[in-house]
Structure 1
């Protein structure tokens, strides 16, 4: 397939006349131009196409397939929708009766979980910092399996001492922050209210100082 070409046209911009390559939208009346380097020095065809693509034009294999940025933008969602439909069609359907069923907990899985819980579960609660989620992550099994074995053979998940300590510290810090912020806001409000009086007093003092220096000069003669 031969490389496509772009027609040349003499244009004028800023009082300067130059020869430029022209591209025209096949869907509307929009046109684009790319001037030559210098008069008579042509640009490589691939660089012309890349220039127009950089300007958001859709450059086709021929002039009848060129689209300006606006027309290309309007047509792009259609292409994306087709690709999305093709991708969705390639995926297995969730309601497919032949889809693989989730793996069920076996006797060995139950034994492994039980052994781990025997190690990390204390009296009526986990030892710090363990919990159902951490056990499941450590063993690489679903959290529901861990909860099922724990409820059956050990007891409630209970509270995590480390997490309880964190919650207590968090609440204390948040209360302290609220107190400090309230005090800060009160100080800033008082400062805003006091600032006009401060400037007025400062101006009065400066005026009095100027008067005093003038009187001293006149009396000191």
Structure 2
């Protein structure tokens, strides 16, 4: 129910939105009487003026304690409860969800709050329980993570051994170059 503006300063709760829209109607009626002719205003100036008007009218006062209250969240009705129960009959059994269903996916499918689905399931079907598909996914993911961690450790040790072998090869190559230079010197000097 919140009105989202172009900037965070322009966001308004439902109560403030209603009040600011009624304030704007009153100011536009009065402005029409006082204006001598049409005025040119830019969109930016109009937005700034509206933001200033709503900011001034949204400031809390002692005489308006109810102005700060937002609307209550929607309450579950009898029809909502019936629809949720029918869906749970289809997807919940043996103290667990079937397939890939969870409270969240049921709520998303029915376009209702997750808390409603949880409330109905707890009252009439029991605990959320485990979902066999999610349990299998969790087990396979843990196994994969163990395999991956082992692979990465082996790779690290292999890379370290490779780096040592490369260093050793470089040292041997330098030593071979020194021996070749010494051999050529011996051939030159001794004949």
**The TM-score by the shorter chain falls in which range?**
0.5 to 0.7
For 1:141-181, what per-residue CA distance to the aligned partner results, in whole angstroms no more than 9, with x for missing partners? 11111111111111111112222222112211211121112
- 94, 119, 136: which one aligns with 1:123: 94
- Matches of 2:96 and 2:144 in 1, distance apart? 26
Match of 1:172 in 2: 143
Aligned pair count reads: 138
Q: Which runs of 5+ in 1 are unaligned?
A: 1-78
More helix by share: 2
Larger Rg: 1 or 2? Answer: 1
Query: Is structure 2 residue 105 aligned with structure 1 residue 134?
Result: yes
Alignment of structure 1 residues 55-70 onto 2, 5 Å: none
Match of 1:86 in 2: 55
Change (3 A) 1:96 1:198: same
Alignment of structure 1 residues 18-29 onto 2, 5 Å: none
Cα RMSD over matched residues? Answer: 3.5
Change (3 A) 1:87 1:199: farther
Report how far residue 189 of structure 1 moved. 2.6
- Matches of 2:85 and 2:93 in 1, distance apart? 13
Change (3 A) 1:137 1:173: same
Query: Is structure 2 residue 132 aligned with structure 1 residue 161?
Result: yes
- Matches of 1:109 and 1:143 in 2, distance apart? 12
Query: Is structure 2 residue 160 aligned with structure 1 residue 197?
Result: no
- Matches of 2:178 and 2:65 in 1, distance apart? 85
Report how far residue 216 of structure 1 moved. 7.1
Please give the secondary structure, in 2, of the residue aligned with 1:128.
coil
- Matches of 1:88 and 1:135 in 2, distance apart? 41
TM-score of the pair, normalised by structure 1: 0.51
More strand by share: 1
Q: Choose between structure 1 and 2 for higher RCO, CA contacts under 8 A separated by at least 6 residues.
A: 2
- Matches of 2:160 and 2:66 in 1, distance apart? 63
